Structure 1
Amino acid sequence: MTSAETPPTSKAELNAELKTLLITAYQNGIDVEGGFECRNGAEHPDWDVIVTEVEKNEHSE
């Protein structure tokens, strides 16, 4: 996300941002599977994000 974009304000918007980020990274040859620590300083919580590939089913987009 760039500063010119509107930040997500709902879970659906957050999911859409994550989907775009993961697809773009994958298309650029980045192995997106695994764990990522997101340390955010004293003023915000820290998060641990785990990305795993899942098997597609017939209902996948």
Structure 2
Amino acid sequence: MAYRINEDECIGCGACEPVCPVSCISEVEDSKRKIDEDSCIDCGACSGECPVECISQV
């Protein structure tokens, strides 16, 4: 399993990116972030940092 960022709800704050231990979160259009689900190790660190709770497990 992996985590996914709902890009419609993401505010582009970037709080999730530095806490990812495998650096699988990257910036995309409009400063929003995206998770490379193939690289995600399912740790959930990013989900706990998101102020708008737009990161969920798939």
Bucket of the pairwise TM-score, normalised by the shorter protein? under 0.3
Greater strand proportion: 2
Higher relative contact order (Cα pairs below 8 Å, separated by 6+ residues): 2
Q: Which has the larger radius of gyration?
A: 1
More helix by share: 1
Q: TM-score, normalised by structure 2?
A: 0.24
